Amino acid sequence: MPSGLFFCFLILSCTNTFTSLKKCQLMSESVVSNDISEYTNRMYYSGGYSPDTIECERFTSPKSKPYFLVKVISTDMEMSSGCHDDFAAIYNGSDTSGNLIKKWCGTMQNFSFEVIGSPNIFFYFSSDSDENVGKGTKFEIIVPESRYQETETSSVNLSIVLGGSARGLASVIAFVCMIWCLYRCICR
């Protein structure tokens, strides 16, 4: 590939990758409760979102725990390639400078994902200027006591270790009894 063409390709790729996000028009902050918290787009239950809407919300974990489980329950938005037109997104951190964890649009099925490493997550919603709109999205945020996988793994491991130790001790006792019985039979 000629070098000029290569640089044009590189610049176009970068421009496409780093499309700047519009500034938040509707910004709010909330602390997630210790239980399950449900969130929606602002107009989810009253007609849906409008064209050219930007909504942002920063969620802070209670007790500054750095893990969240996000369960997306329903999504009703314009579908577009790469969710370029109308979309919802979750970032790990207190604004869109954090890592993008998930971006979604259209009418996707239920799904869930973890966000780990920061006591804040940031929700960003954007719609373009056309009239293809919908209700938006509804999701739950759960802050577990500890990461589910670690809890499950440690409880499983503990039961295996305890079970294994008990079985090993029983085998040793049975073996000793067998040797003792043989000794009594032979030496009597």
Q: Which residues lie near Ca ion (CB under 5 A)?
A: 78, 85-86, 127-128, 130, 132
Q: How far is the CB of 94 from Ca ion (least distance, A)?
A: 27
Of 85 and 114, nearer to Ca ion (C-beta) is 85
Whether the CB-CB separation of 67 and 114 falls below 8 Å is answered with: yes
117: Cα within 13 Å, side-chain hemisphere = 8
User: How far, in Å, CA of 78 to CA of 41, rounded?
Assistant: 14
DSSP assigned state of 53: -
Q: How far is the CB of 26 from Ca ion (least distance, A)?
A: 17
Q: Residue written as tokens 């070098």?
A: 3
Q: How far is the CB of 41 from Ca ion (least distance, A)?
A: 13
DSSP assigned state of 9: H
Of 69 and 79, nearer to Ca ion (C-beta) is 79
Of 28 and 50, nearer to Ca ion (C-beta) is 50
Of 80 and 94, nearer to Ca ion (C-beta) is 80
DSSP assigned state of 13: H
Q: How far is the CB of 133 from Ca ion (least distance, A)?
A: 6
